[in-house]
A and B are shown apart, each in its own frame.
Chain A
Amino acid sequence: MDGSHLQGGFADPAIDAARAFRSVMDAMARPGQIYTLQGAAPPQPISVAAGAVILTLCDADTPIFLGPNLDTPGIQAWIAFHTGAPFAGRSECMFALGNWSSLTPLEDFPHGRSDYPDRSATLIVEMPEISVNGPTLRGPGIQGSATLALPETVSFRRNHAMSPCGLDFIFTSGNDVAALPRSTEVI
């Protein structure tokens, strides 16, 4: 430990988190639209956007699952210092962070119960890039249809079929963020 995990939080936590949340909320409310996040400087290889999402939404109440590619002492120390979030396995987490291959298969994540569909995990998926060149999306938040590059389509179709239960996805790369809630149909 060299103390570098003490760096890289929001400079002005209340204001930076407020601005970051608006981008995340806009992304969740408008699937297929890309927004930007800034203000976080997480350790490599976590993107600025994923770092900002974690600083904005995670705390001692939200167990995090780290994908095997990110489960290092340096990253654990950064998240623990800045958010106080405990680490957990797939089936106990509220948030998960990793690239797509480290998060799949999705079956073990909490998908919510039919009486409490909100008791489900949100997956922060690190992507090589966020782009709108991808499959067509339909659903709440989308006027007509939208498009978004996704790592695959089958898992998201299956996830939507379970709605109102299911997982919600936040895609991050560099400063970019986009989201795919369970309510979105992937065509």
Chain B
Amino acid sequence: MSDYNFAYLDEQTKRMIRRAILKGLAIPGYQVPFASREMPMPYGWGTGGVQVSAAVLTPDDRFKVIDQGADDTTNAVSIRSFFERTADVETTTETKAATVIQTRHRIPETPLTEGQILVYQVPIPEPLRFLEPRETETRKMHELQEYGLMHVKLYEDISKHGHIATSYAYPVKVEDRYVMDPSPIPKFDNPKLSDCPAIQLFGAGREQRIYALPPYTKVVSLDFDDYPFEASKPNQTCGLCGADDSYLDEVIVDDAGRRMFVCSDTDYCEKRRSAGHRGRDAA
């Protein structure tokens, strides 16, 4: 153990965050303001997610961190070791074994279960922010459920590109009430938000907002009757494990521009490979 308080934050800060989490769970999809603290990492590296994780972790937890699906990137490795040092928690890279998973921009491929908590790192929590920069206005729009502007944006996508070109941070409506930004997850992950057995918590550090989805909450991706929502992904299979059902990253492998597609969820890909699955490009 280190000389820090359990899970780094002081107790008063944790109480403040915990109260915000409870309000978020009671009003699914509503962004609860909270007094975000400076963390020992820059904004944009998961300060919101880290504060939410610090407020929910207990010493009995097994903690997993993924960054774009991967357990072994800088951000994931440092946040994992941060809580190993300050909260003395066990860590894991296995989705099934984890009780708390902090994520940047992905929902794991392996379905989540009742005992789990998924903590999202959120850069811009306000789904209407790029359409209306004034907080006073967006707050009023949420109050009055005035979400027409969001549909205009999706319509402009269709008129420009022939289809809804928004491919990540795809807006959703929670329990027929609040329009919510699911954080920049690919829209491939959107269907997993709804009716999920796990608790989903969203933390935006710089923007000082926390919001939440209790288990089994109805979450619908916005669309039109004649242009229904599609959870798209590259029409390829994973080069390493051959999976055709997981979200894929495109990787350039040499100077000649050769490329391959691989699972973005490293744990899912490794599990498949150790079960004997092989893709085209596997050595």
Contacts and interface: CB of A to CB of B under 8 A. Distances in A.
Interface of A: 13-15, 17-19, 21-22, 24-26, 28-30, 56-59, 61-62, 114-115, 117-118, 120, 122, 139-143, 163-164, 168, 181-183
B interface SS class: mixed
Contact of A115 (B6, B12, B16, B139): B139
Interface of B: 5-7, 11-12, 14-16, 18-23, 25-28, 30, 32-33, 55-60, 139-140, 142-143, 175, 177-178, 197, 199, 212-218
Q: State the 6 A-B residue pairs at the shortest beta-carbon distance, nearest first.
A: A181-B26, A141-B214, A14-B6, A140-B217, A118-B23, A29-B214
Given A140-B216, A142-B216, A182-B27, A14 B22 contact: no
Given A17-B15, A28-B25, A118-B27, 11 more contacts: A14-B11, A15-B59, A18-B6, A18-B56, A25-B25, A25-B199, A29-B199, A59-B15, A141-B216, A143-B216, A183-B175
B156 to A, nearest CB: 28
Given A57-B15, A140-B28, A140-B213, A168 B58 contact: no
A29 B22 CA distance: 8
B215 A29 contact: yes
Contact of B18 (A15, A25, A117): A25
Contact of B143 (A58, A115, A143, A168): A115
A9 B22 CA distance: 22
A143 B212 CA distance: 17
